[in-house]
Chains A and B, each alone.
Chain A
Amino acid sequence: MKSEWPLWEIFIRSQHGLAHRHVGSLHAADAEMAIKNARDVYTRRNEGVSIWVVKSADITASSPGDREVLFEPAASKIYRHPTFFPMPEDVKHL
């Protein structure tokens, strides 16, 4: 019998308008319990307005070994980076 609860990845939206951010992971028997546990573990200090939970096993990750193939070609193409625009100071969350 498997006695360990599955691992869940926790995403919290800290305020309206922002995207959910990964904040950490925890163990729970099911999604409902994961939400409750996330509330207690990660939002005790008023951090959030919304919680997402995803089973860690359901996340497919890129392999660290593929890093060069996947990401290096982008590094030399500076024209793809929007670094040539001045950023207005008043615009938040850009």
Chain B
Amino acid sequence: MNDSLFEYLLRLGDNDVVLAQRLGEWVGHGPVIEEDIALTNVGLDLLGQGRMWLTYAGEVEGEGRCEDDLAFLRDAPAFRNVQLVELPNGDFAATMARQFYFDRAHLLLLTALARSADPRVAEIAAKASREVAYHAERSADWVIRLGDGTEESHSRMQTALDKLWPYTGELFAADAVDLALVEAGTAPDPRTLREPWLASVEAVLAEGKLETPRGEWMQGARRGGGRQGVHTEHLGHMLAEMQFLQRAYPGAQW
């Protein structure tokens, strides 16, 4: 099997599944019912995308694992999502700041992947990028509204942006897996996405009267982070809830 492709597909799929689970935690807790529905819509979009990536990952691996096996029967160190998406929701500003950072990078990545030499990757990315274009618009909208809102909303948004900033480096770090896929023409070099990402982030933050954080140090970017299976302490707790049913009642179906 193609180990690098398998790893890479897990990274794509796990980002989606883990963030979808986090967004699902907002059900019944949204600030207004409209937002409750919107957040979970985004979560469901991501879940759908995650299913497509993990299904493909299972096929590439060739050991008969399906999307459900991969999502529900792996432990935290086997997950390959970036740490950014596994962080707890925090307040609404933190959820939207996390979403904003991620959506902008996600959209750039999917746009590039839509031109992948791997037709299956290109197909999934093209479909997903239409959904993610909407996510990116929505989260930027909230960043601007809260940033340019009241004193309270501005300070909460700025605090969230600052706190999450060190987790954005991992989105643009390249390791041997990435380089093998660049070589094969399957995926873009993540490092090339950082500049357009930063430009679009800065533009939105300026519109929201927010400061772009300047910290250089990035969590997990150099020595390895979530994409290499090194996670924060939060992922295990999240998976305990997400995987409970399949662990307690193996093979249970709905």
CA distance A36 to B41 in the complex (A): 12
Q: Are B41 and A40 in contact (CB under 8 A)?
A: yes
Segment among A26-34, A58-66, A67-75, A81-89 that sits at the interface with chain B? A26-34
Instruction: Indicate whether B181 reaches chain A with its CB closer than 8 angstroms.
Output: no
Least CB distance, B87 to chain A, in whole angstroms: 24
CA distance A45 to B134 in the complex (A): 16
Chain B, interface SS category: helix
The A-B contact count (CB < 8 A) is 26
Segment among B30-38, B88-96, B241-249 that sits at the interface with chain A? B30-38
Instruction: Indicate whether A41 reaches chain B with its CB closer than 8 angstroms.
Output: yes
Instruction: Indicate whether B115 reaches chain A with its CB closer than 8 angstroms.
Output: no
Instruction: Indicate whether B175 reaches chain A with its CB closer than 8 angstroms.
Output: no
Residue numbers of A with Cβ under 8 A of B are 5, 26-29, 32-33, 36-37, 39-41, 44
A-B contact pairs, 19 of them (CB 8 A): A5-B32, A27-B32, A27-B34, A28-B34, A33-B141, A33-B145, A36-B38, A36-B138, A36-B141, A37-B34, A37-B35, A37-B37, A37-B38, A39-B134, A40-B34, A40-B41, A41-B34, A41-B38, A44-B41
CA distance A26 to B74 in the complex (A): 41
Residue numbers of B with Cβ under 8 A of A are 32, 34-35, 37-38, 41, 134, 138, 141, 145
Q: Are B37 and A40 in contact (CB under 8 A)?
A: yes
Least CB distance, A88 to chain B, in whole angstroms: 40
Chain B residues contacting A27 (CB-CB under 8 Å) are: 32, 34
CA distance A7 to B134 in the complex (A): 23
CB-nearest residue of chain A to B142: A33
Q: Are A26 and B145 in contact (CB under 8 A)?
A: no
Least CB distance, A82 to chain B, in whole angstroms: 41
